[in-house]
Structure 1
Amino acid sequence: MKKKPFIQVLLSVLLVAVILVGGTMAYLFATDSPLINTFKLAHVDTEIEEDPKGGTEADKEPYVTNTGSSPVYVRAKAVVVTQEGSPVAVSNEQVTFDYDTEGWTEKPDENGYYYYKQILQPRNSESDEFPRTSALFTGLKVDSTVSEDALFSVVVYHESVLAPSGEGVEWDITQAKAAFQKAESSETAAQS
């Protein structure tokens, strides 16, 4: 009969030991330092700038500047707009632009956009200038069929979307077009 109380005491001690070890382990895991995830939202913001080469409107060179804090894909197009009061209409077919095919795609897409051939990075610090594309075009020629008293303007439209960032990420036309298509489909869905 003396064995039975001994076994009960031994089992009680083991039970207390398991509870103490389990409680200690739970405490150690529960009081571990928290993991903090910090996120920075993307900020896409670009602007058109014009650098005049000479004194006339035809001498201006349009650039796109990244004023946001995220890398972006950029596309742009030039559209000829007849001004009010012009005796004749002027169209894009009557104006030839000298596009920069080294910095921009050689041919426009189906909507008339040329794609900048690099990911336009944000500026590095407050002291640096904002990064910009090369000039979309460096000049234009008006067809001889356009009368001298025709009034028209050249409007440069541009769009930019978030591009991937990181080491080894390079510009790719397929990825750039896919990013713009995704943005367009998201905008269409939001309007519905």
Structure 2
Amino acid sequence: MDTHTDHLSQLGDPRRMRVLASIDLENADLRDRLDSITERTAQRLGLPISLVTLVLDTAQFLAGSHGVTGWVAESRGTPVEWSFCARAVHRRGPYVIVDASADPDHATNPMVAFEGVRSYAGVPLELDGQFLGAHCVVGGAAHTFTDDDISELRRAADEIVALLDRYRIKAD
């Protein structure tokens, strides 16, 4: 089993899934707030797309987004195998791709080959000790990310985690 496949198999951890299930992802106010953060991040980093993803065991769910169109916007997600954010979750730290089309690990990814993704930077979202997804930016051209870019993503990720925690479903 390759490393990518191995880390995907770890996404179904029951503790992780319980934390994910505790968040009220259907709450319109939460979605609006996450969309607002992604819009701000995209503007600050000068990239067309920003996301708040929650990486499930088989899919990546877009909890918040800015600049996403087409089938990805309609479905609000992608298969987890196509997810760059799953790698940020696995690493438990920032994950950066300067030019995915030239990267042997990503060049054949359908998001690169068919959807035009070229650059990515994401930081994981950690709640209750579990890495749930990522806050990221995506570009259609190669892009070098700075330490300041990663710091901006981290600041926004802290804000996102606080929101996710605030929108937990109360157990009866």
Question: Shared fold by TM > 0.5?
Answer: no
TM-score by length of 1: 0.25
Which has the higher Rg, Structure 1 or Structure 2? Answer: 1
Whichever structure has more helix as a proportion of its residues is: 2
